[in-house]
């Protein structure tokens, strides 16, 4: 698993007004907690946390927190929760969870599908990606960046279930029967083509009255 250094500062204030003022100064309020330490209120530069997320393609990165310039050996942590503004999307608050390198932890990792399935390329099928994240349990040093699945051999109705995959040095917590992805058959269009519609539009309609008249004439001819 990747490891990055992140500088944070202790903070004494709290409340909405204090947090708003902090955000105006380019900092994000955060909390640090864990089984082996007392909860601590901190803050981090918005530019630092955005760069960290961008460079590591997400938040599954082990952090060595440098608190108030005291060094990075005391607090290895993960970002456990990130609160964003629902409209603007900017980061409002972070929760850092202190971890122990000798204790397993549970977290989610992204699921990536690699390749184009045979059923899509040659048979017109549609690849449906159903599960995009999986919960796993492992030691912090074994956390993978993502789960990569090769789907090139899947034909029509071919699928990958949780029980079909493994994550090295980790336990997958999801039900083994759950479907991660499946190649569905192509949909059959019921819409009429332009030629069919034109033929129907120009076809002479049957006249009910003429049919009845013809039937009557036949009956009279039979009587004779």
Kindly state whether residues 65 and 118 are assigned to the same domain: no
Specify the CATH number for the domain of residue 14: 2.40.240.10
89 and 128 co-located in one domain: no
Query: 72: burial class by Cβ within 10 Å (0-12, 13-18, 19+)?
Result: middle
In this prediction, residue 188 carries a pLDDT of: 67
Q: How many CB atoms lie within 10 A of CB 56?
A: 15
Shared domain check, 92 and 8? yes
Q: For 92-144, how does the pLDDT look when each residue is reduced to its tens digit (9 = 90+)?
A: 999 999 888 888 989 899 999 999 999 999 999 999 999 999 999 999 889 88
190 within domain boundaries: no
55-64, 157-166, 209-218 — which is least confidently predicted?
A: 209-218
Please indicate, yes or no, whether residues 137 and 112 belong to a single structural domain of this protein: yes
pLDDT for 1 beyond 70? no
Residue 205 pLDDT grade (very low, low, confident, very high; cuts 50, 70, 90): low
Distance of CA 85 to the CA centre of its chain: 19
Query: How many residues in the chain?
Result: 224
Boundary of a domain, candidates 82, 99, 116: 99
For residues 178 and 142, what is the distance between their CA atoms, to the nearest angstrom?
24
Q: What is the CATH number of the domain that holds 170?
A: 2.170.120.20
Q: Any idea which residue has 């390749």 for tokens?
A: 115
Tally of structural domains, the chain: 2
pTM reported for the whole predicted model:
0.68
Please indicate, yes or no, if residue 209 is contained in any of the structural domains: no
- pLDDT at position 217: 54
| Confidence tier at 73 by pLDDT (50, 70, 90) | low
pLDDT at residue 23 tops 80: yes
Residue 38 lies in a domain: yes
Calculate the dihedral angle through the C-alpha atoms of 96, 100, 104, 105, rounding to the nearest 10 degrees: 0
- Residues 25, 110 share a domain: no
**Residue where one domain finishes, among candidates 99, 130, 156:** 99
Residues 94 and 113 in one domain: no
Which of residues 40, 69, 99 is at a domain's end? 99
Domain holding 21, by residue range, is: 3-99
> For residue 95, what pLDDT is reported?
94
* DSSP codes of every residue in 67-116: ETTS-SSSEEEEEEEEEE-TTT--EEEEEEEE--TTS-EEEEEEEEEES-
């Amino acid at each position: 698993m990747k490891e990055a250094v992140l500088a944070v500062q202790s903070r004494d204030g709290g409340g909405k007004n204090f947090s708003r003022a902090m955000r105006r100064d380019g900092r994000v309020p955060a909390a640090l907690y864990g089984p082996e330490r007392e909860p601590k209120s901190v803050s981090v530069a918005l530019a630092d946390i955005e760069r960290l997320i961008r460079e590591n393609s997400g938040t599954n990165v082990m952090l060595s927190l440098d608190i108030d310039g005291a060094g990075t050996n005391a607090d290895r942590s993960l970002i456990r929760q990130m609160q964003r503004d629902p409209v603007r999307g900017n980061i409002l608050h972070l929760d850092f969870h202190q971890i122990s390198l000798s204790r397993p932890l549970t977290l989610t990792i992204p699921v990536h599908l690699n390749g184009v399935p045979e059923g899509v390329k040659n048979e017109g099928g549609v690849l449906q990606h159903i599960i995009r994240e999986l919960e796993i349990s492992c030691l912090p040093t074994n956390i993978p960046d993502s789960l990569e699945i090769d789907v090139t051999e899947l034909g029509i109705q071919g699928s990958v279930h949780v029980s079909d995959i493994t994550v090295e040095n980790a336990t997958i917590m999801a039900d083994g029967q759950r479907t991660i992805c499946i190649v569905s058959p192509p949909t059959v269009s019921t819409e009429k083509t332009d030629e069919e519609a034109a033929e129907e539009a120009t076809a002479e309609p049957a006249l009910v009255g003429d049919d009845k008249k013809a039937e009557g004439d036949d009956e009279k001819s039979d009587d004779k």
